[in-house]
Amino acid sequence: MKEIKKFAAQGDVMFRRVSALPDGFEPTDDNVVAHSETGHNHVAVGQLQRYENTADPMISYIVAKGPVEIEHHRPWDTHEKLKLLNDGPGETVWEIRRQREHTPEGWQMVMD
């Protein structure tokens, strides 16, 4: 398991520690940080709250009260788990971005 303090990528998902949750994001009950087109989702496990914004579904946030493990749900060829570490006592905010690519039709999600 890789322990992450500031920045990491797992497949088509990027995690970056930020100073605060931006305005416009609402809490969600879903801890799936990236739904995959082939059914192998990336899931956050730990004491956390995930936030999303319907205006841009490619960006979400996690507010964590401790370390968060990112699991890759697929029975074969899985990514190594990531452990997003807190910077100390209190909450840590992680930005989650899905990889995008520009096509003649416009921006679209990269398929993992």
**Measured CA distances, 102 to 14, 66, 95 (Å):** 17, 36, 21
Asked if the model's pLDDT at residue 93 lies above 60, the reply is: yes
pTM: 0.83
Closest CA to 28 of 48, 44, 50, 45: 50
The tens digit of pLDDT for each residue in 40-66 reads 688 899 999 999 998 888 899 999 999
Over 70: is that where the pLDDT of 106 sits? no
What is the spatial distance between Cα 4 and Cα 11, in angstroms, rounded to a whole number? 15
